[in-house]
Amino acid sequence: MKTYISIIIFTVLMISCSKDSKIDWDLKPHADLLVVESLLTSDTANHFIHLTLSNPYYDSKDPRAVSEATVFVTEGSKVYSFVESSETKGLYYSTEKFSGKPGKTYDLTIKLKYALNGKDEFKSSAKMPEGLKIDSIKCEIYEMPDLEDQKDQKEKDTTILAVYYFGDEPKVATNYYLARTYRNSQPLQSNSKEFLTYESHEDKNYTHLATFGKNVSGDDLITFKLYTIDRSYYRYLEAISNMDQTGMATSLSGSPANAVGNVPNALGYFVVAFVSKATASAEDLR
């Protein structure tokens, strides 16, 4: 669908004879903010919380890690502590393996060693939704049509990966999903802009289809991971996917705006999601 909209935009741009030139443009400064990345799923695992700082917009340095913070997650009376990885500064893992439970609410607390903009404690809360459990998948490969708008892309996607997945959806009014695929255990989506997200309303079918414009071949083993997420995180990812490569809003998504997370006074998101996965060989139908 987005490809289709891109074609329309492309058409208008081609007709409009626009031209672009590099300029010096001063931006309004702002104090650094804490950035939270996390993923707590229904898998039994050592879940992670990643803490970094924002940079001035033109700053080309890597994000700075936030070390020596106290991080823990509570669910009812249970407390899961997180400790900083000795290998990666700012990355905190739960000290024990545990699995999130659908319907349960998880509370995150982050206490910084040094206050940031006058704040040294950040809190967030998220509830794990009921999720779709995948029974099996079927993967097919087709040839990508030769679209004019891909001419300028550095690496052209030459195939379409169609993943049919089978499973019953939770019986709620609207389900929100995030799909990620792996080729021979390597992620096919390199960043959150490439994640496939969608919402499902009344259609509670057993058969579902997700398509990805990616280069895959018949020998590849495809793993498909489906996260059932809440509406708020879906909106967060929707915001990211509707920004262009530099995070600006695209012409069809209105005025530029922030992707609003669920950690007050900080950026990023405390994600709690139900996950289900399946693996199958891809069938080349080109």
Partner 1 sequence: MKTFLRIILSLGLFIFAFQVSAQKITLSGHIKDAGNGEMLLGVNVYEKNTTNGVVSNAYGFYSLSLSPGKHNIVVSFIGYTALDTVINLVSNTTFNFDLNEAASQLKEVEVKAKRASDNIASTQMSVTSISSKTLKQIPVAFGEVDVLKSLSLLPGVKTSDEGSSAMSVRGGARDQNLILLDEATVYNASHLGNMLSVFNNDAIQNVEFYKGNLPAQYGGRLSSLIDIRMKDGNKKKFTGTGGIGTLSSRLTLEGPLVKDKGSFIISGRRAYVDLLTKALHAINDTIPNVPYYFYDLNMKANYSLNPKNKIYVSGYFGKDVYEFESQKKNFSNDLKWGNYTGTLRWNFIPSAKVFTNLTLLVSNYNYNFGNEFIFGKEKKKSKFTWNADLIDYSSKYDVGWYVNDKNLLRVGLISTYHKFNPGKVEGYSDTIRYNFKNPKNNALEHAFYLSNEQKLSPKLTMQYGIRYALFQNIGKASVYKLNSDYETIDTAIYAKNKIYNTFHSLEPRIGLTYLISGNSSLKVGYSRTSQFVHVASNSSTGSIIDLWIGSGPNIKPQYADLFSAGYFRNLFDNKIEASVELYYKNMENQIEFREFATPQFNPRMDGDFRKGRGRSYGVEFLLKKSEGRFTGWFSYTLSKSERKINGIQEKDWFLSSTDRRHDLTVVNMFNLSKRISLSANFTLKSGRPFTSPSLRYQYEGTILPYYTGRNNDQMPLYHRLDLAITIKGKDKPGKWLHNELVLSVFDVYNRSNPISIYFMSDDDNEFVTHAYRQSFLGLTPSITWNFNF
Which residues ranging from 55 to 94 are in contact with partner 1 (CB under 8 A)? 55-63
> Which one of 76, 86, 115, 173 is in contact with partner 1 (CB under 8 A)?
173
One character per residue 3-32, x = contact with partner 1 (rule: CB under 8 A): -xx-xx--xx-xxxxxxxxxxxx-xxxx-x
CA dist 110 to 84, 94, 212, 262, Å? 12, 13, 36, 13
34/71 with CB nearer partner 1? 34
With beta carbons less than 8 A apart as the criterion, state whether 270 and 124 touch.
Answer: yes
Among 77, 86, 153, 255, binds partner 1 (CB under 8 A): 255
Q: State the nearest-atom distance from the C-beta of 79 to partner 1, in Å.
A: 26
Stretch that binds partner 1, among 65-73, 114-122, 129-137, 239-247 (CB under 8 A): 239-247
123's tokens: 């809190």
CB closer to partner 1 out of 17 and 115: 17
In sign, the C-alpha dihedral spanning 22, 35, 89, 194 is negative
Tokens of 49: 């919380």
Residue 257's contacts (CB-CB under 8 Å, 6 or more residues apart) are 239, 249
Residue where the block lists tokens 């024990």: 96
State which residue, 74 or 158, has the beta carbon closest to partner 1: 158
The window from 79-87, 118-126, 189-197, 222-230 that contacts partner 1 (CB under 8 A) reads 189-197
- Total length of the chain: 286
d(CA 64, CA 107): 25
Between 30 and 101, whose beta carbon lies closer to partner 1?
A: 30
Q: Please give the sequence-ordered ranges of beta strands (E in DSSP) within 76-195, or none if there are none.
A: 78-84, 91-94, 105-116, 119-127, 136-143, 159-166, 175-183, 186-187
Choices 1-9, 69-77, 79-87, 114-122 (CB under 8 A): range interacting with partner 1? 1-9
The answer to whether 279 contacts partner 1 (rule: CB under 8 A) is no
